[in-house]
A and B are shown apart, each in its own frame.
Chain A
């Protein structure tokens, strides 16, 4: 008598009679329900009559839980291909390096958008995905021309949702990646920006702010996205935002945005505005730039650190880390923990603390004539150019007044603002929105704050600020 084929069910995997596909597909009635429950309380199926098995292999190929093995007598199961390495591990240590700037050192005359693209390339950006939108499109066009020759990738996507999605995907591929857009595009990107925060994915988002809300005035400047950048993604944890005021700073802060993004594994906003993006100025390209390279050290905890404010190393796809990247609440290895209060609490607090506790590495500002100033203007972006002109004009007339220009907006530089504003007679905040920056300054300043708002889609005329300083008229 021939030996029977072997049929086995792993009871702990079986989901029992509610499924029972094995029993129903089997032409030889091998299976029946067991007479004892599993620890999960399921009555599993069992191969009660293996001697009847004809090794037709219908059950093991239909089982949704891969719980059934059938070994035909005298036959060997097909072997599986080997797995595991060797895996490429490019520069696992990462950290600060100095690299030559791509363009030869010297003076260049270019627009803010072009300078932004050149800064990103100098920082090592080799992936751009975007969608056309005024007033940011020149960044995309410049990248489309420059990236292929640098071995990088440019792709124009079907919408902004797809653009930021592709950027995050590329970043996990181990490539520094960015996109640029304006307010309407940011509105579409916000869900995936939240995903980048949650998955700790470095990426840079340039927001060339234009007058809103909605379509608004596409080619006119505004600073109406300051709060959107910080609070737009649901869940409300921290990210970083920088605000350039010149073409030179479009270049320099684009580099800094990438460095902070890689250093802290967080999306970084470059909050530009239509004026600095379309302005043409002469800028200086240095011989070398300092960049922060991703720490890729392979380890089994790419999503947690022993410290409450740490930044975990980030291996890339294809390096054998078997990454489990998810926007769901996850533990240090990436496993979903969607009902675990302690994991959720720890994760959300670390995502915030890794930024907040390192604010001294992030805060960036310039002080002008503040030593003896009784009144202080606080401004950012192109508005700060108008503010500086007004301060200089008022100084010539003998007014003790100064300017604090914020180059980093998020996390908000509370200590910087307090240090320069506390005890002064008046803090004056001009801006192209209805008081977004003023609200933050009021919270931090420790001095009376006056909010000067302008939302007509025009740049703030420096003479208008001067008139306020002279006559209190706005």
Chain B
């Protein structure tokens, strides 16, 4: 297998795998994920002719549909995992990949997600977590960090968020991972690992929504006003994400508040 760094041209990836140019806002983290996903798919390779991409409603759901030149099933809000379970059970000869957002998979669709994890249905689920409902104008979601400002939490989010990796591992997932879009090479490698899993695999992709989250929470972002909000959000991810192996060697005061990234196996127990 070719290493992820021996990468093809973006123009070749577009010609082979995409139907159209991206429909996302400037600097959208979902676009960075799409770029990394296509590189991982080319490296594996994931046969797009034998793969069904299932997505729900929201910005994350737009990554496969209408972009990917493959069989795509763009379904009702929250139900992507349940539709995917039906496709997989009826057609075990096909790869079934779910790509959708945090609101779709963790808010309205949380029940399907934990049951697919429990049943270890051999689908791959990529949750593009941009920390709020982007398409509807930036409302609080089940993954919005506490105190963050959204359209529906103008005084800051009072509720704690889900830790999606712990959630699916607790539900019985054999494999879960978390990678930020700020490290695209690492992300592509992580996507490739998940796609290689024989059973249920879940990846929380820490994405960014510059349009809604970034603008509403600009005061929290590092960097200067001369830098673009997407860049400053990526910088925030770089500073606040730490690999689980490295975190294990850090003193508690340096670990506090950091987001752990990496891969977990179900038999390890909860992170």
Chain A residues near B (Cβ < 8 Å): 10, 12-13, 15-21, 24-25, 57, 60-69, 71, 77-81, 83-85, 87, 127, 129, 153, 155, 157-159, 161-163, 165-170, 172-175, 177, 191-192, 195, 317-318, 320-328, 334-336
A-binding segment of B46-54, B139-147, B153-161, B239-247 = B46-54
A20, A84, A129, A168: the one within 8 Å of B231 (CB): A20
Select the residue from A18, A317, A335 with max chain B CB neighbours within 10 A: A317
Residue of A nearest to B7 (CB): A78
Q: Does B22 lie within 8 Å of A162, measured CB to CB?
A: no
Interface size range of chain B in the complex? 35 or more
Task: Please report the C-alpha to C-alpha distance between residue A326 and residue B48 in the assembled complex, in whole angstroms.
Answer: 19
| Chain A residues near B50 (CB-CB < 8 A) | 318
A-binding segment of B90-98, B99-107, B255-263 = B90-98
Whether A322 touches B36, Cβ cut-off 8 Å, given contacts A61-B184, A83-B48, is no
Whether A327 touches B45, Cβ cut-off 8 Å, given contacts A61-B36, A158-B115, A170-B90, is no
Select the residue from B11, B16, B73, B188 with max chain A CB neighbours within 10 A: B73
Q: Does A66 lie within 8 Å of B18, measured CB to CB?
A: yes
| Chain B residues near A87 (CB-CB < 8 A) | 49
Sample 15 A-B pairs with CB under 8 A, ordered by A number: A21-B230, A21-B231, A21-B234, A64-B27, A65-B22, A78-B2, A78-B8, A79-B8, A81-B45, A165-B76, A168-B86, A172-B52, A195-B75, A318-B71, A318-B91
Select the residue from B32, B185, B229 with max chain A CB neighbours within 10 A: B32
A64, A85, A163, A191: the one within 8 Å of B35 (CB): A64
Whether A327 touches B76, Cβ cut-off 8 Å, given contacts A80-B8, A81-B45, is yes
B25, B34, B91: the one within 8 Å of A174 (CB): B91
A-binding segment of B77-85, B125-133, B190-198 = B77-85
Closest chain-B Cβ to A297's Cβ sits at a distance in Å of: 17
Task: Please report the C-alpha to C-alpha distance between residue A195 and residue B245 in the assembled complex, in whole angstroms.
Answer: 45
Closest chain-B Cβ to A69's Cβ sits at a distance in Å of: 5
Closest chain-A Cβ to B83's Cβ sits at a distance in Å of: 4
Closest chain-A Cβ to B190's Cβ sits at a distance in Å of: 13
Q: Is B87's CB within 8 Å of the partner chain A?
A: yes
A12, A63, A78, A169: the one within 8 Å of B90 (CB): A169
Query: Which B179-236 residues sit within 8 Å CB-CB of chain A?
Result: 184-185, 188, 210, 227-231, 234
Task: Please report the C-alpha to C-alpha distance between residue A130 and residue B250 in the assembled complex, in whole angstroms.
Answer: 49
Q: Does A321 lie within 8 Å of B71, measured CB to CB?
A: yes
Closest chain-B Cβ to A198's Cβ sits at a distance in Å of: 10
B25, B35, B78, B89: the one within 8 Å of A61 (CB): B35
Residue of A nearest to B92 (CB): A153
Q: Does B54 lie within 8 Å of A169, measured CB to CB?
A: yes
Q: Does A317 lie within 8 Å of B10, measured CB to CB?
A: no
| Chain A residues near B227 (CB-CB < 8 A) | 24
Select the residue from A63, A65, A85, A167 with max chain B CB neighbours within 10 A: A65
Task: Please report the C-alpha to C-alpha distance between residue A15 and residue B87 in the assembled complex, in whole angstroms.
Answer: 36
Task: Please report the C-alpha to C-alpha distance between residue A170 and residue B89 in the assembled complex, in whole angstroms.
Answer: 7
Closest chain-B Cβ to A296's Cβ sits at a distance in Å of: 14
| Chain B residues near A63 (CB-CB < 8 A) | 10, 31-32, 35
Q: Does B16 lie within 8 Å of A157, measured CB to CB?
A: no
Q: Does A335 lie within 8 Å of B66, measured CB to CB?
A: yes
Task: Please report the C-alpha to C-alpha distance between residue A63 and residue B22 in the assembled complex, in whole angstroms.
Answer: 11
Q: Does A169 lie within 8 Å of B13, measured CB to CB?
A: no
Closest chain-B Cβ to A168's Cβ sits at a distance in Å of: 6
Task: Please report the C-alpha to C-alpha distance between residue A69 and residue B14 in the assembled complex, in whole angstroms.
Answer: 11
Known: A15-B27, A127-B86. 16 other contacts (CB 8 A): A18-B25, A19-B26, A63-B10, A63-B32, A80-B12, A81-B42, A83-B49, A157-B85, A162-B112, A165-B85, A169-B83, A172-B73, A173-B87, A317-B94, A318-B52, A327-B74
Closest chain-A Cβ to B25's Cβ sits at a distance in Å of: 8
Please list the 9 inter-chain residue pairs (A to B) with the smallest Cβ-Cβ separation, ordered nearest first: A64-B31, A166-B86, A169-B86, A170-B90, A162-B82, A18-B26, A165-B82, A15-B26, A19-B27
Query: Which B1-45 residues sit within 8 Å CB-CB of chain A?
Result: 2, 5-14, 16, 18-19, 21-22, 24-32, 34-36, 38-39, 42-43, 45
Residue of A nearest to B79 (CB): A165
Task: Please report the C-alpha to C-alpha distance between residue A16 and residue B10 in the assembled complex, in whole angstroms.
Answer: 17
Q: Does A81 lie within 8 Å of B47, measured CB to CB?
A: yes
Whether A12 touches B21, Cβ cut-off 8 Å, given contacts A67-B10, A69-B9, A318-B91, is yes
Whether A172 touches B31, Cβ cut-off 8 Å, given contacts A61-B36, A326-B74, A336-B66, is no
Task: Please report the C-alpha to C-alpha distance between residue A127 and residue B83 in the assembled complex, in whole angstroms.
Answer: 13
Residue of B nearest to A323 (CB): B71
A60, A161, A195, A334: the one within 8 Å of B10 (CB): A60
Q: Does B74 lie within 8 Å of A325, measured CB to CB?
A: yes
| Chain B residues near A62 (CB-CB < 8 A) | 32, 35, 184
Residue of A nearest to B232 (CB): A24
Whether A177 touches B90, Cβ cut-off 8 Å, given contacts A13-B22, A24-B227, A57-B5, is yes
Q: Is B120's CB within 8 Å of the partner chain A?
A: no
Q: Does B91 lie within 8 Å of A317, measured CB to CB?
A: yes
| Chain A residues near B167 (CB-CB < 8 A) | none
| Chain B residues near A18 (CB-CB < 8 A) | 25-27, 210, 228-230
Closest chain-A Cβ to B236's Cβ sits at a distance in Å of: 14
Q: Does B90 lie within 8 Å of A320, measured CB to CB?
A: no
Task: Please report the C-alpha to C-alpha distance between residue A172 and residue B74 in the assembled complex, in whole angstroms.
Answer: 12
Residue of A nearest to B62 (CB): A336
